[in-house]
Structure 1
Amino acid sequence: MASLRRKLPPLTALTAFEAAARLASFTNAAHELGITQAAISRQIHALEEILGSPLFRRLHRRVELTESGKLLASSTSNAFNQIADTVAEIAKGSSGDEVTISATVAFTQFWLLPRISRFSRLHPQIKLRIVSQDMAVNIDSGDADLTIRFGSGVWPDGVAEFLFDDEIFPICSPEFAREVGKVETPEELIRYPLITYDVTDPTWTGWNEWLAAFSVEAPQRPRGMHCSFYTEAIHVALSGEGIALGWKRLVEDLLAQNRLVRLTNASISTRNAYFVVVPRRRRKKAGVEQFIQWLKDVSKEADG
């Protein structure tokens, strides 16, 4: 069997091709690699000769990949990215024992941080870095090793594994519950201050959608306070200012501590769920595998 080196075209030609394909320009590829445009053209021409197939269509002032070029571009991009990731990991002087986790502010504050010390006690050698932001990171870009998302489980930038679904119901402080007395039906809720918040995620449920599930029309101008974020809405509810929507997975600790209480038995189940998402093209670190397994174990405990 021929050696791998004999099967592969020259690395210099593949490097020139990968840059030209990614940048869609021989000129820009030459600038990036610090060589002349003529050198790029020669390398790509030599590669086309070896393969016996054109890789680019030379158009007026631009180039365009052929079907063969697209196939090779995909392979070289994946291979070069994997090499770059491995080199970066080795250069850090560790075996990849730092794990960067991305999650929304609400999930981080109410679910992840109260439990994270349990993981650290089990795996003291793994350093955790938590990126807390509501804008979703592109997991394939290398900004995080994994992200925890709420949604359908289908995202173009990563592979998702199911963690748990959720349930939504009205909550308030014990003091507020005593003030309003018994509330039996969703229709009764609109008499009281409903705490609202800005919703940018279309998969997130607000008061309008929750009440509509019980054929109740939400008031045009709810009496309660309006917040920018869900975390703020929960803190307003804790202070006794009104009724918020409680996502069970996020507020279960506050309910267990009796800092918040359910106001009615009415609830809805979410159509979507929480998933842990990892990059498609990057090799998982050992620490990432251990963190994902821990997430699954903790999720099963909650379901049990």
Structure 2
Amino acid sequence: MANLRKKLPPLTALTAFEAAARLSSFTRAAAELGVTQAAISRQIHVLEEDFGFPLFRRLHRRIELTEKGRQLFSAASDAFSLIADAAADLRAEGPDDELAISATISFAHFWLMPRIAAFSRAHPEIKLRIVTQDARTRIEAGDIDLALRYGMGTWPDGQAEFLFEDEVFPICSAEYAQSKAPILAPADLVDHPLISSDTDDPIWTGWEEWLAAFSVKAPKKGRGLHCSFYTEAIYAAMNGQGIALGWNRLVADLIRQGRLVRLTDAAIRTRAAYFVVVPTRKPRKESAQQFIEWLREASTSNA
């Protein structure tokens, strides 16, 4: 250990250097570390004195790493990342085993939350934290242990394991269906308000794609409600606002409860599927593996 300390540069100075190099600014590094800009400059000077060569080029109103400075920054960044990952893993261990799960709002609302009490009953020792947001969370950059996603199964931040596919069909409230003439075929749908929701995901099925699968052209100016989120579209359908597209895995419970009804036998299989995604850069928790096994069992019953 003594020999190792002799080989290492001053660690306080190295911390200041890493922040300044990452932020390309002594001022921003000082703000991040809670010290003055002069203190950062002094620590960088200490480090450059220790190495015997400059690490930054001081230009007009900006700094730039030298070639040797870039080499040191690459090594320091990797080393700090390894320490941070190890610290996060150590903090996660212990009797209070929190399992952080990321899911989209609609999947968490309609599929996960109605079922998750069964997991908690089977594993009361595991503390769950559900993070719901439609913007995709990079699981390798945060404290998420696993993510539930809909897509093609290829994400750069983790290893995806297939859960299940889905199918899409039109749905509405029982009251709405009873108040209208029978809807027997996809072509009958265009005379009704078609509820839609915003999405930036090209693999998400909308009305235009769904109707085109049955050679039906979607109306150019539909009378249906346009919602920001899929959850809003489903609630609009339950409240008699018109007809929405239902993902079977998300609306099956609502259909069994009579809060929604399926219209026509027409359906299309989704191009994508549901996956559980696990970070590749950190060891998989035992609780995460238990949750994945529970997911597989839950997905085969009352799908």
Q: Provide the TM-score with structure 1 as the length reference.
A: 0.79
Aligned to 1:160, the other structure's residue is in SS state strand
Decide whether aligned partners of structure 1 residues 4 and 226 sit closer, same or farther in structure 2, where only a CA change above 3 A counts: farther
Decide whether aligned partners of structure 1 residues 30 and 104 sit closer, same or farther in structure 2, where only a CA change above 3 A counts: closer
State the partner residue of 1:82: 85
**One-letter amino acid matched to 2:174:** P
State the partner residue of 2:64: 63
1:262-281 equivalences under 5 Å are 262-281=262-281
Q: Distance in 2 between matches of 1:4 and 1:273?
A: 54
The structural deviation recorded for 1:73 is 4.3
Q: Distance in 2 between matches of 1:248 and 1:161?
A: 20
Share of identical aligned residues, percent? 51
State the partner residue of 2:227: 227
Decide whether aligned partners of structure 1 residues 65 and 284 sit closer, same or farther in structure 2, where only a CA change above 3 A counts: farther
Q: Do structure 1's residue 39 and structure 2's residue 40 form an aligned pair?
A: no
**One-letter amino acid matched to 1:267:** A
Aligned to 1:246, the other structure's residue is in SS state strand
Is contact 1:16–1:43 with CA below 8 Å preserved after alignment? no
Single out whichever of 157-166 and 241-250 deviates more from structure 2.
Answer: 157-166
Q: Distance in 1 between matches of 2:96 and 2:14?
A: 28
1:1-304 equivalences under 5 Å are 5=4, 9=8, 12=11, 15-25=15-25, 29=29, 32=33, 35-43=39-47, 46=50, 56=55, 58=57, 60=59, 61-64=62-65, 66=67, 68-69=71-72, 71-86=74-89, 88-89=91-92, 94-142=94-142, 144-301=144-301
The structural deviation recorded for 1:71 is 4.5
**One-letter amino acid matched to 1:259:** R
Aligned to 1:114, the other structure's residue is in SS state coil
Q: Distance in 1 between matches of 2:87 and 2:301?
A: 38
The structural deviation recorded for 1:107 is 1.0
**One-letter amino acid matched to 2:57:** R
The structural deviation recorded for 1:124 is 0.3
Q: Distance in 2 between matches of 1:274 and 1:289?
A: 17
**One-letter amino acid matched to 1:83:** A
Decide whether aligned partners of structure 1 residues 76 and 119 sit closer, same or farther in structure 2, where only a CA change above 3 A counts: same
The structural deviation recorded for 1:45 is 6.1
Is contact 2:102–2:137 with CA below 8 Å preserved after alignment? yes
Single out whichever of 140-149 and 204-213 deviates more from structure 2.
Answer: 140-149
Decide whether aligned partners of structure 1 residues 45 and 24 sit closer, same or farther in structure 2, where only a CA change above 3 A counts: farther
**One-letter amino acid matched to 2:117:** S
Unaligned runs of 5+ in 1: none
Q: Distance in 1 between matches of 2:143 and 2:221?
A: 40
The structural deviation recorded for 1:230 is 1.7
Aligned to 1:139, the other structure's residue is in SS state coil
Q: Provide the TM-score with structure 2 as the length reference.
A: 0.79
Decide whether aligned partners of structure 1 residues 220 and 160 sit closer, same or farther in structure 2, where only a CA change above 3 A counts: same
**One-letter amino acid matched to 2:252:** E
Q: Distance in 2 between matches of 1:7 and 1:153?
A: 48
**One-letter amino acid matched to 2:150:** F
Is contact 2:55–2:66 with CA below 8 Å preserved after alignment? yes
Q: Per-residue CA shift, 1:221-272, capped at 9, x if unaligned?
A: 2233333322222222223332210101101112233332221122122222
Unaligned runs of 5+ in 2: none
Decide whether aligned partners of structure 1 residues 3 and 180 sit closer, same or farther in structure 2, where only a CA change above 3 A counts: farther
